[in-house]
Structure 1
Amino acid sequence: MATNPDSVRILVPVGMLGAGFPPETVARGLALGADVIAVDGGSTDSGPYYLGAGTAKTARAAVARDMRLLLRAAATAGIPLIVGSCGTSGTDAGVDWVAGITREILAAEGLDLRLARIYSSQQAAELDLDRIRPLPPAGELDRVTLESCANIVGMMGHEPIAEALTAGADVVLAGRATDTAVAAAYPLLKGMPAGPVWHAAKIVECGGQCTTNPRAGGVLATVDATGFTIEPLDPANACTPTSVAAHMLYETVNPFTMREPAGTIEVGEAVYRALDERRVRVEGSRFEPAAQHTIKLEGARITGYETMSFTAIRDPHILGQIDTWAALLRKMISEWVSGTIGLGEGDYTFDIRRYGYDAILGELDPAAGPPREVGVMLLVRAADQETATAVAKVANPLMLHLPTPDMDYLPSLAFATSPAETERGAVYEFVLNHVVEVPSPTSLFRICLEDNR
């Protein structure tokens, strides 16, 4: 009868699949006895487009490069490889995209690894509104909003991944998953205590970000009965109590707690201790199971179609009164669009962003005095691409020659591209920040174990 190990070593090579990592760091992780390789494959950090369109942020060649190294490592060491949130947003199309890359590599390399796909896309018609509740600051969800989503995914915890491993998978390609679940699944399956496992998973979710040199590669976390130890895979890199503890501040509302589908990580009493100049030991972490298992839903819908123009201003007279110029540009665009193509305020929207002046912080920008040069981005949004582009074209002469009210000549500004108008296509917005109560941790997800041996 098999017994659970005394410890489990989790190798996390990089914060996101496709970002690249030094191959020698993975080799060192194997030499240190890694039991599993876990890596996140996605994020919502880059906005709703990737979920709405169901496409990946990362380049295929970059994902293939990382996967080739990791598949070789997993086969060499005889340990599982787990990838979460495949294809950036974790849609079914994203899982299939990474699975296609993986199959090509397995065949080319002659690797005998069994593949499992876990799908997390959800159909609006199959979701029970009565079991869905909002997360702040979202409001109550209605059926119209739910059905307007181009794509919906459920964010799985560790349970579907553990089920795929138990079924015999060597490589698990999961749809949308919590970053922590990807690293937590294997040690939990092997009987490690939930408190240290979940805390360690949170610390290693972004690879080397918990080290003093995040660009030097990933980390290895060793979880045991009383806590976990974490060290960088690069011998020249280091973890410190501060660098490790600081990662609990990353993307969390409360640095002492974090909710997972199955419960809450509690680290308020955790103690961080340096074992030497490179390694940190953490003890005292707890995990409180939830009374009701919930799955977070993410959904994005099309809000219109967008066309962009970008011009640059270096005229010191205009830059000395850039607010006046921008207000005039807004006024003139509205008047010209109304007078030339007959569109009113309800037919389109536009935004003017002044890069080099206040495009990032807006009114919060502490800079004072006129800028040296400013890039002006015009973003026009309408119900269809033709209308958005028509508005941008009407604005073209204004963005090229608009003077301030006190100028007696026409300035010449500089378009960044020719043509000046760039059609950006469909624009998406996130509309779901909700959780759904589920009868079991795996009920929303579909596991497909491939018989490719």
Structure 2
Amino acid sequence: MTHEVRVLTPVGMLGAGFPPETLTRGLELGADVIAVDGGSTDSGPYYLGSGIAKTAAAAVTRDMRLLLRAAATARIPLIIGSCGTSGTDSGVDWVAGITREILAEEGLNLRVATIYSEQQATGLKEHLGQGRIHPLPPAAELDPATLESCRHIVAMMGHEPIVAALEGGADVILAGRATDTAVAAAFPLLKGMPAGPTWHAAKIVECGGQCTTNPRAGGVLATIDATGFTIEPLHPDNACTPTSVAAHMLYETVNPFSMREPAGTIVVTDATYHALDDRRVRVEGSRFDLAEQYTVKLEGARITGYETMSFTAIRDPHILSQIDTWAALLRRMIGEWVTDTLGLTSDEYAFDIRLYGHNAVLDAIEPATGPPREVGVMLLVNAADQQTATAVAKVANPLMLHLPTPDMNYLPSLAFATSPAETERGAAYEFVLNHVVDVDSPTAPFRINLPEDTDA
């Protein structure tokens, strides 16, 4: 019987880079599995909608080469979740292609399994008709047309498909969209570790070194046993403290004391955090409450139009002293000029003006007082096609270059950041699914290709 399992997480996201020596240190400490998240929704809907990865191929290749070498040397599994940023099928195939190239170049004999999480609108509409899809706040009830409008839809897997791949003989598992925690929890759960400590530890290690006092120094190792877990950083000059570890339950959670997974809820209300020394923390008292109904979260993105961006900079102190008045005038005049010049109505395009250096981040709740020293003015235009979006931005060009405040008797000259001033950004996307679907089997929504079914 396994008495403890050590989970090595060298980095918070595949392709983000990590010091190679910290990975070596994790193996020296007896790691039983390497688990790395490969993606996120943090960077917005573009990556899901387009099916394109956020990370560079060279960066993913660099990290994967180190990880595959380590897995082969230690003869331990390597698990990657949410491949290609958003976990689309193309993202899994992209990382799988990189993996197979590295294995061939390095002469490594590792068995690769792939798990696909993309969903088809047709099947989901059947679930919707059966009342098996439910909105998460603040989403509304789902309409079938919304499913049809999505370019890509993924289901967020729990640990069970990953466990199935491990049981099927995989050395390397490349999974589509998965909960960050499932990637780290799968192997310990397979080995019989208790659910409470396992899921809590998986939550803490999901972002690598973010639970340490120096997140830039590399990842962490979590040792899970029958009563809790111990977590330590991989860099000798880094440290975990009770505060740094406990604080990670605040990260990307609605409630810092609980977090829902497909199978149930992590509850850390009674968890204790104790410093074993100046680098390691012991956590006990976590539990995992099974849900009555197993649910899988859906994520989907659709095109909202096409965007063109312009960016100009203001250093004129007179304009900056009344920047809000100037911005209001700019908004009004863009609308008037577009109507007069292009004949477009407000429902045929949209634009946004963001004042960087003034209130672009916090908008109306910005607490700063007094005029800013300089402001960057970003114009984002959205229209049904790229040509229209760019035409609107071009109409706005003279205003962004020379617009005076109402009390100025001369035309100022502002500074565009680029030439041409208009940058076509292509298709813009939005998330439209924040729903869960009831499933009878945790593995049913996913397609698992075991090693014997592949060329790996």
TM surpasses 0.5: yes
1:46 matched residue in structure 2:
43
How far residue 266 of structure 1 moved from its aligned partner, in angstroms, is 1.1
Q: Could you report, residue by residue, the CA deviation over 1:404-447 in whole angstroms, capped at 9, with x for unpaired residues?
A: 11111111111100000000000000000000000100000001
Secondary structure in 1 aligned to 2:311? strand
1:262 matched residue in structure 2:
263
Is residue 2:315 matched to residue 1:314?
yes
Q: Could you report, residue by residue, the CA deviation over 1:95-128 in whole angstroms, capped at 9, with x for unpaired residues?
A: 0000000000000000000000000000011111
Is residue 2:60 matched to residue 1:59?
no
Aligned-partner Cα distance in 1 for 2:272–2:315: 55
- Amino acid paired to 2:41: T
1:169 matched residue in structure 2:
170
Secondary structure in 2 aligned to 1:346? coil
1:284 matched residue in structure 2:
285
Is residue 2:262 matched to residue 1:226?
no
1:191 matched residue in structure 2:
192
Aligned-partner Cα distance in 2 for 1:370–1:244: 40
1:118 matched residue in structure 2:
115
Which 4+ residue blocks in structure 1 deviate beyond 6 angstroms? none
- Amino acid paired to 2:8: L
Is residue 2:99 matched to residue 1:102?
yes
Aligned-partner Cα distance in 1 for 2:324–2:20: 51
1:349 matched residue in structure 2:
350
1:401-420 pair list within 5 angstroms: 401-420=402-421
The alignment's TM-score, normalised by the length of structure 1, stands at 0.98
Is residue 2:150 matched to residue 1:149?
yes
Larger deviation, residues 311-320 vs 93-102: 311-320
1:381-396 pair list within 5 angstroms: 381-396=382-397
Aligned-partner Cα distance in 2 for 1:53–1:428: 8
Aligned-partner Cα distance in 2 for 1:450–1:194: 28
How far residue 324 of structure 1 moved from its aligned partner, in angstroms, is 1.2
- Amino acid paired to 1:7: E
- Amino acid paired to 1:344: T
The alignment's TM-score, normalised by the length of structure 2, stands at 0.98
Q: Could you report, residue by residue, the CA deviation over 1:236-276 in whole angstroms, capped at 9, with x for unpaired residues?
A: 11111111111111111111111100011111111111111
- Amino acid paired to 2:333: M
How far residue 279 of structure 1 moved from its aligned partner, in angstroms, is 0.7
How far residue 50 of structure 1 moved from its aligned partner, in angstroms, is 0.3
Which structure 1 residue ranges, 5 or more long, are not aligned? none
- Amino acid paired to 2:295: T
- Amino acid paired to 1:58: T
1:242 matched residue in structure 2:
243
- Amino acid paired to 1:157: G
- Amino acid paired to 1:407: M
Aligned length in residues? 450
How far residue 450 of structure 1 moved from its aligned partner, in angstroms, is 3.2
Aligned-partner Cα distance in 2 for 1:44–1:410: 43
- Amino acid paired to 1:160: P
Aligned-partner Cα distance in 2 for 1:250–1:429: 23
Aligned-partner Cα distance in 1 for 2:405–2:237: 57
Aligned-partner Cα distance in 2 for 1:324–1:263: 52
Aligned-partner Cα distance in 2 for 1:221–1:347: 54
Aligned-partner Cα distance in 2 for 1:369–1:225: 58
Aligned-partner Cα distance in 1 for 2:62–2:344: 49
Aligned 8 A contact 2:3 2:226 in 1: yes
- Amino acid paired to 2:408: M
How far residue 15 of structure 1 moved from its aligned partner, in angstroms, is 0.4
1:204 matched residue in structure 2:
205
CA RMSD of aligned residues (A): 0.8
Aligned-partner Cα distance in 2 for 1:341–1:249: 49
1:331-370 pair list within 5 angstroms: 331-370=332-371
Q: Percent identity?
A: 81
1:9 matched residue in structure 2:
6
- Amino acid paired to 1:25: T
Aligned-partner Cα distance in 1 for 2:205–2:137: 27
Aligned-partner Cα distance in 2 for 1:199–1:245: 10
Aligned with 1:88 (options 67, 85, 88): 85
How far residue 62 of structure 1 moved from its aligned partner, in angstroms, is 0.4
Aligned 8 A contact 2:169 2:451 in 1: no
Secondary structure in 2 aligned to 1:368? coil
